[in-house]
Amino acid sequence: MIWQNAVDWADTLVYQGFSDWRLPSITDTGASGCDFSYNGTDCGYNSDTAGSELAYMFFTNLGNLSAYDTSGNFRGGSSGVDWGVVNRSPFTNLQNFAYWSGSEYAPNTSGAWIFNTVSGEQDADLKIFEFIAWAVRPGDVAASPVPEPGSLVLLGLGLMALRRVQRR
């Protein structure tokens, strides 16, 4: 669907009793627009996962690879086998195609940010093109912080000390 239809679809989606759905966000980092790179920017391959919920899902949650390594070398093989959407679990309909983000492209608001799972590339494209939409909810994308084992031990010791003081 075109971008505006994708945004509207996610905003009005009610599924399993939840109505707070939206398209994933992509943050434009650095200079306004596409700062193309093969490693760690807002545009290109191996995008910064801290600024892109789509890149986070693709690379971190699913463990997929882009068509190029961080030095700009083509990985070889074929999309969907060696890179691209190789790992889909736990999703059943994850496609090898471009997905809309909910973020407009600031240098040209007739465009929006996309993430292409065919090659693991993030870029912007015109809103009139038809791409796929993936709805998310707050807290769905980023991993929840897990306490370090040392922190848990300290917490436990602190609770035991409080209990002791309370008994006295």
pLDDT at 156: 55
pLDDT digits (tens, 9 = 90+) for 64-106: 999 999 999 999 999 999 999 999 999 888 999 999 999 999 9
Written as one letter, the residue type at 2 is I
Quickly state the pLDDT bin for 160 (edges 50, 70, 90).
low
pLDDT digits (tens, 9 = 90+) for 3-44: 999 999 999 999 999 999 999 999 999 899 999 999 999 999
Q: How far from each other are the two terminal CA atoms of the chain, in whole angstroms?
A: 67
pLDDT at 165: 53
- What range defines the domain where residue 34 resides? 3-167
Report the candidate in 35, 7, 32, 33 with the shortest Cα–Cα distance to residue 21: 7
Beta strands in the chain (DSSP E): 36-37, 43-45, 98-104, 111-116, 121-126
Say what the pLDDT of residue 6 is: 98
Q: What confidence score (pLDDT) does residue 168 get? A: 60
What pLDDT does residue 143 have? 44
pTM: 0.82
Cα-only R_g, the chain = 20
Tens of pLDDT, residue by residue over 111-146, are 999 999 999 999 999 999 999 999 999 988 864 444
Tell me what pLDDT residue 70 has: 97
Q: Count how many domains the chain has.
A: 1
Residue 57: how many CA atoms within 13 Å on its side-chain side?
26
Q: Hey, what are 15's tokens?
A: 């599924």
- Between β-strands 43-45 and 98-104, what pairing exists: parallel, antiparallel or unpaired? unpaired
Residue 139, pLDDT score:
87
Give ∠ CA 88-129-11 in degrees, rounded to 5.
65
